[in-house]
Amino acid sequence: MKIKETNTTCCYCGIRKATTKDHVPPKAIFTKPRPNDLITVPCCFECNNLASKFDEKFKAYLGMHIARQGGEAERFFKEGVLPTTKYNGKLRRNIFNSMYPVNIATKAGIITGKGKAVPWDNEAHDITIERIIRGLFFHHYGKIIGDNAEINTYWFKKPETVLDDKLYETSIANGNFKYQYNKVEESEFDSVWLFNFYNGHFAGGMILSKKSPPHLPD
Ligand SMILES: [Zn+2]
């Protein structure tokens, strides 16, 4: 189900009036010119403002983690992330302070050198993933989750192929963001969401209704 034009409640808090549109996933994770098939959802000023605080962090960490994929991912890192870390001193310091030494290996596991890795900023990661789940749930099912359900977020080392259940697959932004999802038919919210960013970062989550017992996949 697509967004109803008449719906003016914020799809995140479900309380305040929507005064703006939010991009799902955040538009900051795509280079300019931005793809024209990005999904938007109705959003209030407060939720939009809060979200944008985490967008920049999420973008920076995503870029650092996928840059080695080359191609579009590398371009996103160079054109989208490097300029951000240049002018955002606080973010830059956070990144440098969290770096740790690693061995650099080929895909076959042969160590070719030493380098530095940056762990994800968990808060920025999970908050952004949860927001994408809330936004896409509203986009597809026309319902606001609010606090009617719990959202558990995860991230994966490689693309997840989890369930026997059929998942719907969508690809937007020239394939730089792909997602899979499905909802338990008899439940209002219970659903699974899997995201693929630039074929280099994989995350997702589950929405579990608070009222009914969770319907977990085997
Ligand atoms: Zn809101």
Cα maximum dimension of the chain: 58
Q: How far is the CA of 109 from the centre of ligand 1 (A)?
A: 46
User: Is the pLDDT reported for residue 201 higher than 90?
Assistant: yes
Q: How far is the CA of 157 from the centre of ligand 1 (A)?
A: 32
**Cα angle value 24/26/31 (rounded, 5°):** 120
DSSP labels for 148-180?
SEEEEEEEESS-----SS--EEEEEGGGTEEEE
Q: For 119-160, what is each residue's pLDDT tens digit?
A: 788 888 999 999 999 999 999 999 999 989 999 999 887 776
Q: For 89-106, what is each residue's pLDDT tens digit?
A: 888 888 888 888 877 777
Q: How far is the CA of 130 from the centre of ligand 1 (A)?
A: 14
Q: How far is the CA of 65 from the centre of ligand 1 (A)?
A: 30
Q: For 1-53, what is each residue's pLDDT tens digit?
A: 444 445 589 999 999 999 999 999 999 999 999 999 999 999 999 999 988 88
Which residues hold their Cβ within 5 A of ligand 1, which is an ion?
10, 12-13, 16, 44, 47
Closest CA to 23 of 172, 203, 190, 193: 172
d(C-alpha 204, C-alpha 126), whole Å:
9
Model pTM score: 0.85
The CB-side HSE value for 96 (13 A sphere, CA atoms) comes to 8
- Measured in whole angstroms, the distance separating CA 120 from the mean position of its chain's CA atoms is 13
Mean pLDDT of the chain: 87
Q: How far is the CA of 50 from the centre of ligand 1 (A)?
A: 9
